[in-house]
């Protein structure tokens, strides 16, 4: 099966993602035909610039939790005994993974957006539909042209969806507020099945990791730019009749965020409320305000996040890395009834990064570029195979750490060189939590 | 006629002929005419100017609780049907100090409101706005106006009330001088005591409103709604941040809300900030913001739901019985 090969993702482990989209869980290992003729080892001992990648997961030798599981099962536990089912921002998912927002950006438009919706639905993965889809692609079937209208994506997702899992999360930008996206959906018979089963959520977007402090950006041809110019800022920056379209980032204060969340809960009491934050220096304050105001989930997109169009200087120079966000959030008080509903995204595609994020306090991780590449590789099964492999790795990792649920992971399961040299020794006392 | 219960089976309007020839509907519309005639007389006597409200405009009341606006193509520009006259009420105070109008409102309410007995997608509001008035003054005016309207209709139409089966002794307690009031926080506490999970940060939900209403024998005000529950135009208290200087008038016997009102947010910077807090894009309110930037009078006002008041006064099962061409949310009708 060869894919369309339409997309590329420089700086992202594209080849590895495509390999998984082709081979599924088998891709957790090198190609079997190379066995016996290739010597394997880590590519580099030097930690890279990415804090999460530089960390290691450190299983203890003594495992109280495994003994509990052994007693429970009456036999030795294996990795297949790890139950990955997770509650993500009020939605149920078969593993601690969701598909993060892909909005009006061209890479996620048209058939790709629909194929992604179908596969995510079939897997029961919660899926975020990004901002500006309605002003750009339209709302109702047939109005979206090449972009794919919002309802088309929703329908494609819903038709493939298994009972009791998944859900669709719809962003609304400042420009979307003019189009009343949430209002339209909340009383649309086409969304009633999701709403009635508690599987519709609305996401308030404060920004994204690839361009902290900026609004959504896309590139349009001149004809589209003329159509949208009254609602978005447009600049004829590029040669060949193409135009940069910039949405406004929106103005927030703690009080504006608090009140917008309360208004969402007031106006849409049957929908879940998600909030997406860019990795700003006050990310811990923003998460606290959002949770206190009643958000069902707060998603933090690290500076490693991608997918959409972004200026190079923002990718290089702006925003906190996800590892630093998790570090700053670790100090937040955890609600007594379960964890902080924290979701994270940024270069997620395999089990290690996801497991480290969970250990550092996240409830789930979002796939952005990886999901699009997988669908690009195989529009029918690419995402399924990628997620199979990720789930397989998560089971291996979580059981290796002597745990059998994602929520059982904790900071002791992660080792960082920086913390170790500073005299902190996480992981030294086995399973002390 | 018995007061509405909490779990009545949904009633739906018949076709237009059966509806318009139904004696209960005719009686309800007769009472409604007397209510409006009395209101006009009362307000004219008090020095109010009656204005004719616009039906379409580039922007309208953002509304709440998931209701949608209706788009109109105005020579290629996206316009809206009015969900309420609020923006025009405030700016009309540049012409007159005290105004009222009887305004049609269109709100595409969520589908689940079709069976609340209290929601119409198209309804009418008796809108009042007074420059310089405080909440105390405006609630007093609203109470006196309602008392006058109800007494006038009851005095003029004894045979109609008899035919409707409405025991007019239910209005014996309606006397000028204001209605009792409780705060939103007190209402939340009362509902929670009765086992109803009411969010302290949100609007009183529909069932909660019926529970509060059913426990009373006369109309009452709920005041000080929290900020996240209402539009930008309800003014925030300067002494109790987070509380709005607003009110709802609730009818007794389970009939629920009749009227909403408030002191208005009227300074430019406060309006823009509150627009952001309610998720609105100030850009689309350009004409209104241009006016308020140069100043509009401080004011208070309210809007009485004409069909809801008629329903309460007549003791009707559902609000659609008080409208000649009722449109229930999601129900295709003439």
Task: Please indicate, yes or no, whether residues A219 and A277 belong to a single structural domain of this protein.
Answer: no
* A19 within some domain: no
Residues 6+ apart with CB under 8 A from B23: B163
Task: Please indicate, yes or no, whether residues A199 and A221 belong to a single structural domain of this protein.
Answer: no
Task: Please indicate, yes or no, whether residues A153 and A300 belong to a single structural domain of this protein.
Answer: yes
Task: Please indicate, yes or no, whether residues A115 and A222 belong to a single structural domain of this protein.
Answer: no
Task: Please indicate, yes or no, whether residues A99 and A243 belong to a single structural domain of this protein.
Answer: no
* A29 within some domain: no
What local confidence, expressed as pLDDT, does residue A2 receive? Answer: 52
Task: Please indicate, yes or no, whether residues A388 and A243 belong to a single structural domain of this protein.
Answer: no
Task: Please indicate, yes or no, whether residues A204 and A221 belong to a single structural domain of this protein.
Answer: no
Task: Please indicate, yes or no, whether residues A275 and A393 belong to a single structural domain of this protein.
Answer: yes
Q: Is the pLDDT of residue A98 over 80?
A: yes
* B328 within some domain: no
Q: Does A196 touch chain B (CB under 8 A)?
A: no
CATH of the domain at B204: 3.30.930.10
Q: Which residues on A lie below 8 Å from B229 (Cβ)?
A: 262-263, 266
The total number of structural domains that make up chain A: 2
* B152 within some domain: yes
Nearest CA in chain B to A172: B279
* B36 within some domain: yes
Task: Please indicate, yes or no, whether residues A353 and A395 belong to a single structural domain of this protein.
Answer: yes
CATH of the domain at A122: 3.20.20.70
Above 0.85 for ipTM, yes or no? no
Cβ contact, residue pair A263, B226, below 8 Å: no
What local confidence, expressed as pLDDT, does residue B25 receive? Answer: 97
pLDDT digits (tens, 9 = 90+) for B55-67: 999 999 987 777 8
Q: Is the pLDDT of residue A222 over 90?
A: no
Task: Among A189, A223, A248, give the residue marking a domain's end.
Answer: A248
Task: Please tell me the pTM assigned to this model.
Answer: 0.85
Q: Could you tell me the residue range of the domain that residue A228 belongs to?
A: 215-248
Cβ contact, residue pair A261, B277, below 8 Å: no
What local confidence, expressed as pLDDT, does residue A147 receive? Answer: 46
Percent of chain A with pLDDT over 70: 80
Q: What is the mean pLDDT of residues A425-432?
A: 44
Q: Could you tell me the residue range of the domain that residue B112 belongs to?
A: 16-322
Q: What is the mean pLDDT of residues B222-240?
A: 94
* A180 within some domain: yes
Task: Please indicate, yes or no, whether residues A169 and A281 belong to a single structural domain of this protein.
Answer: yes
* B99 within some domain: yes
Find the CB nearest A262 among B109, B205, B228: B228
What local confidence, expressed as pLDDT, does residue A418 receive? Answer: 72
Task: Please indicate, yes or no, whether residues A112 and A222 belong to a single structural domain of this protein.
Answer: no
Best residue of B277, B286, B330 to probe chain A, by most A CBs closer than 10 Å: B277
Q: What is the mean pLDDT of residues B121-131?
A: 98
What local confidence, expressed as pLDDT, does residue A340 receive? Answer: 75
pLDDT digits (tens, 9 = 90+) for A280-290: 999 999 999 99
Task: Please indicate, yes or no, whether residues A244 and A107 belong to a single structural domain of this protein.
Answer: no
* A18 within some domain: no
The total number of structural domains that make up chain B: 1
* B2 within some domain: no
Cβ contact, residue pair B201, A269, below 8 Å: no
* B208 within some domain: yes
pLDDT digits (tens, 9 = 90+) for B270-317: 999 999 998 888 888 999 999 999 999 999 999 999 999 999 999 999
What local confidence, expressed as pLDDT, does residue A334 receive? Answer: 63
* A10 within some domain: no
């Amino acid at each position: 099966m060869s894919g369309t090969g339409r997309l590329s993702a420089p700086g992202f482990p594209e080849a590895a993602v495509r390999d998984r989209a082709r081979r599924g869980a088998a891709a957790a290992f090198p190609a079997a035909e190379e066995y016996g003729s290739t010597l394997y080892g880590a590519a580099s001992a030097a930690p890279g610039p990415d804090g999460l990648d530089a960390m290691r997961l450190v299983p203890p030798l003594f495992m109280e939790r495994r003994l509990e599981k052994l007693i429970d099962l009456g036999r030795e536990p294996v990795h297949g005994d790890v139950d990955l089912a997770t509650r993500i921002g009020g939605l149920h998912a078969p593993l601690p993974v969701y598909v993060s927002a892909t909005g009006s950006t061209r890479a996620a438009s048209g058939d790709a957006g629909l194929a992604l919706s179908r596969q995510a639905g079939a897997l029961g993965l919660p899926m975020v539909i990004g901002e500006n889809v309605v002003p750009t692609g339209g709302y109702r079937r047939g109005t979206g042209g090449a972009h794919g209208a919002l309802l088309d994506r929703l329908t494609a997702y819903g038709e493939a969806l298994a009972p009791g899992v998944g859900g669709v999360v719809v962003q609304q930008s400042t420009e979307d507020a003019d189009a009343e996206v949430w209002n339209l959906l909340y009383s649309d018979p086409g969304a009633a099945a999701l709403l009635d089963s508690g599987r519709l959520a609305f996401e308030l977007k404060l920004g994204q990791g690839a361009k902290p402090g900026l609004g959504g950006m896309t590139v349009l041809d001149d004809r589209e730019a003329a159509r949208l110019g009254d609602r978005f800022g447009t600049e004829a920056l590029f040669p060949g009749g193409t135009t940069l379209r910039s949405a406004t980032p929106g103005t927030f204060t703690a009080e504006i965020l608090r009140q917008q969340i309360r208004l969402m809960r007031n106006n849409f009491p049957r929908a879940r409320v998600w909030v997406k934050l860019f990795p700003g220096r006050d990310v811990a304050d923003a998460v606290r305000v959002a949770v206190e105001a009643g958000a069902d989930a707060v998603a933090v997109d690290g500076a490693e996040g991608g997918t959409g169009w972004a200026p190079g200087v923002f990718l290089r120079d702006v925003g906190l890395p996800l590892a630093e966000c998790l570090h700053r959030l670790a100090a937040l008080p955890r609600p007594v009834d379960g964890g902080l509903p924290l979701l994270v995204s940024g270069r997620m595609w395999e089990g290690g990064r996801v497991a480290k994020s969970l250990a550092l306090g996240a409830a789930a991780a979002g796939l952005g570029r990886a999901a699009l590449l997988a669908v690009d590789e195989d529009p029918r099964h690419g995402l399924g195979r990628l997620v199979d492999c990720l789930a397989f790795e998560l089971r291996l990792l979580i059981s290796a750490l002597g745990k059998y649920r994602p929520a059982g992971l904790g900071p002791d399961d992660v080792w960082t060189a920086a913390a170790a040299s500073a005299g902190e020794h996480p992981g030294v006392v086995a399973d002390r939590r | 006629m018995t007061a509405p219960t909490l779990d009545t089976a949904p009633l739906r309007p018949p076709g237009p002929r059966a509806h318009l020839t139904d004696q209960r509907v005719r009686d309800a519309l007769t009472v409604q005419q007397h209510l409006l005639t009395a209101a006009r007389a009362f307000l004219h006597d008090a020095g109010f100017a009656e204005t004719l409200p616009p039906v379409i405009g580039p922007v309208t009341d953002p509304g709440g609780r998931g209701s949608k606006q209706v788009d109109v193509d105005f020579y290629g520009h996206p316009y809206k049907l009015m969900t309420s006259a609020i923006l025009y009420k405030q700016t009309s105070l540049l012409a007159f100090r005290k105004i009222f109008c009887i305004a049609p409102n269109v709100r595409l309410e969520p589908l689940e409101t079709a069976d609340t007995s209290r929601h119409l997608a198209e309804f009418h509001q008796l809108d009042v706005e007074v420059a310089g008035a405080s909440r105390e003054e405006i609630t007093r005016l609203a109470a006196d106006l309602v008392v006058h309207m109800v007494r006038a209709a009851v005095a003029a139409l004894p045979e109609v009330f008899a035919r409707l089966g409405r025991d007019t002794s239910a209005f014996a307690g309606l006397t000028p001088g204001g209605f009792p009031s409780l705060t939103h926080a007190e209402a939340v506490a009362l509902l929670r005591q009765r086992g109803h999970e009411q969010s302290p940060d949100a609007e009183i939900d529909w069932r909660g409103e019926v529970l509060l209403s059913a426990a009373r024998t006369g109309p009452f005000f709920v005041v000080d709604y929290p900020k996240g529950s209402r539009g930008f135009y309800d003014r925030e208290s300067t002494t109790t941040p987070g509380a709005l200087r607003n009110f709802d008038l609730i009818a007794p016997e389970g009939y629920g809300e009749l009227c909403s009102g408030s002191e208005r947010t009227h300074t430019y910077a406060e309006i823009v900030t509150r627009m952001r807090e309610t998720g609105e894009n100030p850009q689309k309110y350009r004409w209104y913001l241009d006016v308020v930037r140069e100043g509009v009078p401080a004011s208070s006002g309210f809007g009485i739901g004409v069909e809801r008041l008629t329903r309460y006064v007549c003791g009707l099962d559902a609000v659609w019985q008080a409208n000649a061409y009722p449109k229930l949310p999601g129900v295709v009708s003439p």
